[in-house]
Each structure stands twice: as structure tokens, then as C-alpha cells.
Structure 1
Amino acid sequence: MQKVCVIGGSRYFGKLLVKRLLAAGHQVTVINRGSLRPPSGVEHLVVDRNDEAALKAALGDRTFDVVVDQVCYTPVQAAIAARAFAGRTPRYVMTSTIEVYDPATAALPAVAPGTPVPEESVDPATWPVTTELPWHDGAYLDAHYAEGKRQAEAVLTRAGGFAFASVRSAHVLGGGAQEFTGRLAHYVERLARGEEIAVHAQALPTAFIHYEELADLLLWAAAAEFTGPVNACSDGPLDVYGLASLIAAQAGREPVYRVVRAGGEASPFSFDRHYAMSNARAKGLGFPFSRSTDWLPGAVAEATAALTAEPSPTA
């Protein structure tokens, strides 16, 4: 049994992670602002992680075997966490994102077209950090999400108060209505109606992962000993045409595409830039991945059922 602290953990794969930890017999503490209560058997600390004094007061003299941070978005949040948890835990795992590799948001080392991006393309040990930027501003943070994650990883990598690992998640799908971004539902609904999907002329592939697989990987990472970033994605990257074709076939439809002009806004997961990830490091460390096409039909069925179950706007 381990003492595990989860920061966030109130929805989607974070909520599932908490359930997985409990099922594995771990002692779990969840820290969030109290919008949702965790399951029975979980210690719940209601505090704003952005308030360093309040966070330290809420933690008291607690110590943990590992901290899993689901909601660290900025270098300022990372610095607060580094100070608050130094000496309280020997291991800190942060959930990061595929967006750190988006070449539209940072100058990154060139990768040959079609080559899955490895972790070393973004090295948190050398990535520049600027805490003076307006990270507290919601609009600024939304516009600089990828950079916030890159800098948060950098701060925690250099903190030195614990061993640090980051899990760079691919685009997460599955779970029906739990998939709160609505990106898969966008395709399911439009394709079922025979509506156009806006795509780039030469759409490039990206990577995906099922929310249950990501929860399992985070559970594995919490108990592992590796440090540094690992990419978390199912085998088999897909471009928007492959994704739409799979969904359309399940609906008994033919997809209808509308090609956007260069630089134009397209549907979710249509990318004119390549940043499908390599999962070779996680595999080498012992985590087995599924294939995207193994679980996507089930995820599509869940999204379809969730849309069907929604009340009409006039109800």
C-alpha cells in the first residue's frame, strides 16, 4: 500500500485514476477546490492550489509516497507545488500533454515528416521559464496552454525536492458524456447527419489514447521509478480522414469533407502540422499499449449513446 496524493482528480481520467488507486489498496488523498467530492474512503482536502500558504496549512504534517498532479498548467503553479511538497514526497508525477510538441506554439527541433516525436524534442531540463508572464489570467493561459505545460514541467524537473516524472498524454477519447471536450461528439453528430467535416487538404496524423488506458498508465507511473517525460499514446496514429472514415462507417454513412484554405480553422484533430508521438520509451519501461482502432469503435458507440440520451433543447 502507498500513500498517494492526487491534485485534481475530480473528473474524467483523473476521477478514474482515484478509483483505480483505491481498488489497488492505496491510501488516497485528493486535493481540489471542492467542486466535486471524491469517492468514499478518500481523504479530501479542499484548498486552492494557487494559494501557497493555504495549501501548506491544509497539508499540515502529511507526507506521501507519491503525488500525482492532474491540474498543473503554469510554472507559477509548479513552483508553489515544488515548495509545498518538498520533503513531503520522494516522487512527483505530473500529467502533461501532446500539445507540448505542437510546432505552431514553439520553435522545436525538426522531425522528419511521418516520424513519431520522441520525448527529447522538448527537454524540460533546458526549457526556458518565465514566471512573470500573466499566468493568472484565464484568457492568457488558454492561449498559451502548451507553453504553460512546458514551463511547468521545467520548473518541477529542476526543483530538486523529489524525483519528477511527466506523462505527456495524447488526445484523450472515450467515456461518452465524460469526454467533456466534445471533440469526438463533434464528429459523431455531424457524420450521423451527413454534414461536412472541415479538414486540411494535407492533414497530418496525431496520436490518441483511451481515458481508461491513460488512467492505467498514470497508476503505473505512480508506482514506477523512472524520471523525466514519457509519451502516453495508443499504437496507430490517425489523421482526420482516417478518424472520420472509421466513425462514418460505424454510422453507415460516407464522410463529406470541406477543405479549408491554408491557415483556416478546421475540425478538431485536423492538423496541418505533424506531432504524432512516439511511445517507445514507455513501452521500453514496461507499459503495454493498445491500438487506437481497437477501442475507437467502442468510444464512438459511447459518444453516440450519450448524444441520443441528451434531452432536446425544447424539453
Structure 2
Amino acid sequence: MEKICVIGGNRYFGKLLVKRLRAADHQVTVINRGSTLPPAGVEHLVVDRNDEAALMAALGSCAFDVVVDQVCYTPVQAAVAARAFAGRTRRYVMTSTIEVYDPATAALPAVPPGTPVPEEIVDPAGWLVAMDLPWHDDAYVEAHYAEGKRQAEAVFARAGSFEFASVRSAHVLGGGAQEFTGRLAQYTGRITRGEEITVHAKALPTVFIRYEELADLLLWATRADFTGPVNACSDGPLDVRDLAAVIATQAGREPVYRTVQAGEEASAFSFDRHYAMSNARAKELGFAFSHTADWLPGAIAEALTTEPSPTA
């Protein structure tokens, strides 16, 4: 049994991670602002992680074997956590994102289309951190989501008081009504209603992961001893038309597409730039991924029973 702290952990794959940690007989503590109660048997510290003094007070004399941070979006949040957990844990795992590789959000080394993007393209150890940017402005953080994640990773990588690993997640699907982005339900809704999906003229593939598999990988990351970033994605990249075709088969309707003009925003999962990740490092470290084709039909079936949003 290990003592595991999960920051966040009150929804979607974070909630599932907490359940799986408990099922593995770990002693689990959840830290969040208290909007949702954790399962029975889980210690709950209700505190705003952005308030350093309150976080330190809530932690008291607590110490953990591993911390899993589900909700770190800025270098300021990372710096607060790095100070708060210094000397309290041997390992810190941060949930990051495929968006760190988006060439539209940073000057990154070019990767030829069709070549899966490896972790070293964004090295947190050398990434510039700018703490004086308006990271306390929610609108700024939302608009600079990818850069916030890159800089947060960089702060933890340089903290030096614990082992640090980041899990860069692909686009997460599945869970039906639990799916917090609702994007798959948006696609199933538009296709079943015969509404158009806006796409790029030459949409490039991206990668996905089922929410249950991501929870499994995070559980694995608490037990592993690797450091640095690791990409988390199922085998089998798909472009937006591939995804829509699978949905159409199950929905019994043909997708309706409209090609966007230059500068016009397309539907989610339609990308005009390449940054589909490689999962080779995680495989070499011992994690076995599923293929997207293994679980996507089930995720679509869940979404087909979910009330869709009006846009995709």
C-alpha cells in the first residue's frame, strides 16, 4: 500500500483514477475545492490549490509516496505545488496534453507529416518559463492553454525535490454523459441530425485515447520510475473524416461536410497542421496500448445515447 495524493480527481478520468487507486489498496487523499465528494475511504482536503498558505495549512504534516496532479494549467500553479510538496513526496506526476506539440502555439522543431511526434520535441528541462505573464487571468489561461502546460511542466522538471513525470494525453473520448468536452456527442448529434461538419480541405490525422485507458496509464505512472514526459495515445491515428465515417456507420447517416476557407475555424478534431504523437516511449517503458478501433465503436455507442450539444 502506498499513500497517493490526487489533486483534482473529482470528474471524468481523474475520478476513475481515484477509484482504481482505492481498488489497488492504496491510501488515497484527494485535494480540490470540494464541489464533489470523493468515494468512501478517500481522505478529502478541501482547499484552493492556488492559495499557497491555505494549501500548506491543509497539508499540515501530510506526506505521500506519489502525487498525481490533474489540474495544473500554469507555471504559477506549478510553482505553488512544487514548494508545497517539497519534502512531502518522492514522485510527482502531472497530467499534460497533446496540445503542447501544437505548432500553432509555439515555435517548435518541424516534424514531417506522418511522422509521430516524440516527447523530445518539447523538452521541459529547457523550456522558457515566464512567471510575469497574466496567469491569474482565466481568459488568458484558456487562450494560452498549451503554453501554460508547457511552462508548468518546466517548473516541475526543475524543482529538484522529487522525481517528476508528465503524462501528455491525446484527445480523450468515451464516458457518454461523463465526457467533459462533449465533442464526441457533438459529432454524433450533428451527423444524426444531418447537420454540416466544418473541415479543412486537407485535414491531418490526430490521436485519441479512451478515458479508461488514460486512467490505467496514470495508475501505471504512479508505480513506474521513469521521469520526464511520456505520450499517452492509443494506436491508430484518425483524421476528422475517418472519425465521422465510423460515427456514420453506427448512426446510419451520411456525414455532411463543408470545407472552411483560410482563417475560418473548423470543427474540433479537424487539424490543418501535424502534431499526432508517438507512443513509442510508453511502450518501451512497458505500457501496452489498445488500438483506437478496439474501443471507438463503444464510445460512439455511448455518445449516441447522450444529449448532444448544438455545435461541433
TM range (shorter): over 0.9
- Aligned match of 1:238: 238
Q: Determine helix, strand or coil for the equivalent of 2:62.
A: coil
TM-score (norm 1): 0.97
1:152-301 maps to which residues of 2 (within 5 A)?
Answer: 152-301=152-301
- Aligned match of 1:48: 48
Note the aligned Cα RMSD (angstroms): 1.2
Q: Determine helix, strand or coil for the equivalent of 1:306.
A: coil
Q: Partners in 2 of 1:192 and 1:279 — Cα distance?
A: 33
Q: Determine helix, strand or coil for the equivalent of 2:158.
A: helix
User: Where in structure 1 are there 5+ consecutive unaligned residues?
Assistant: none
Matching residue's letter, 2:117: V
Q: Partners in 2 of 1:17 and 1:240 — Cα distance?
A: 29
Q: Partners in 2 of 1:294 and 1:258 — Cα distance?
A: 29
1:106-117 maps to which residues of 2 (within 5 A)?
Answer: 106-117=106-117
Matching residue's letter, 1:117: V
Shift of 1:130: 0.4
TM-score (norm 2): 0.98
Shift of 1:117: 0.4
The runs of at least 4 aligned residues of structure 1 exceeding 6 Å deviation read: none
Aligned length: 310
Shift of 1:182: 1.2
Q: Determine helix, strand or coil for the equivalent of 2:197.
A: strand
Shift of 1:294: 1.1
User: Where in structure 2 are there 5+ consecutive unaligned residues?
Assistant: none
Q: Partners in 2 of 1:182 and 1:113 — Cα distance?
A: 28
Shift of 1:262: 1.8
1:30-49 maps to which residues of 2 (within 5 A)?
Answer: 30-49=30-49
- Aligned match of 2:25: 25
Q: Determine helix, strand or coil for the equivalent of 2:206.
A: coil
Q: Partners in 1 of 2:7 and 2:292 — Cα distance?
A: 28
Deviations 1:193-230 (A, max 9, x none): 11111100000011100000000000000111000000
Q: Partners in 2 of 1:34 and 1:191 — Cα distance?
A: 37
Q: Determine helix, strand or coil for the equivalent of 2:67.
A: strand
- Aligned match of 1:143: 143
Q: Partners in 1 of 2:104 and 2:179 — Cα distance?
A: 25
Matching residue's letter, 1:69: D
Q: Partners in 2 of 1:125 and 1:72 — Cα distance?
A: 17
Matching residue's letter, 1:124: P
Shift of 1:62: 0.7
